[in-house]
Amino acid sequence: MALIGIHWKDEFIGLTPWEGSIDWEVDTWGRWLVRGSNASYDAEVLASCAVRSLKPPYRYSDAKVANRND
């Protein structure tokens, strides 16, 4: 189970498996990729961490959102 929640242009966009699809790729350490879509939006969030540490900061390297209605 997963959720992508994005605040964009004064709107909350919730991408959930019960209203669309969610896929993820998780490496053993250092890289997390989550993709989600629903009838209106596609989103991809990529997070990475170079050092194996339990403490922040983590580097969020990329996040993309596409409105299917534009």
pLDDT of 58 strictly over 70: no
pLDDT of 26 reads 87
Tokens of 67: 């409105």
Q: Which domain holds residue 42?
A: 4-67
What pLDDT digit, counting tens, does each position of 6-30 carry? 888 899 999 999 999 999 898 877 8
- Domain total for the chain? 1
Q: How confident is the model at residue 35 (pLDDT cuts 50, 70, 90)?
A: very high
**Nearest residue to 41 (alpha-carbon basis) of 8, 4, 67, 6:** 67
Nearest to 2 by CA among 55, 59, 20: 20
Instruction: Give the separation between CA 65 and CA 23, rounded to whole angstroms.
Output: 15
4 against 62, higher pLDDT: 4
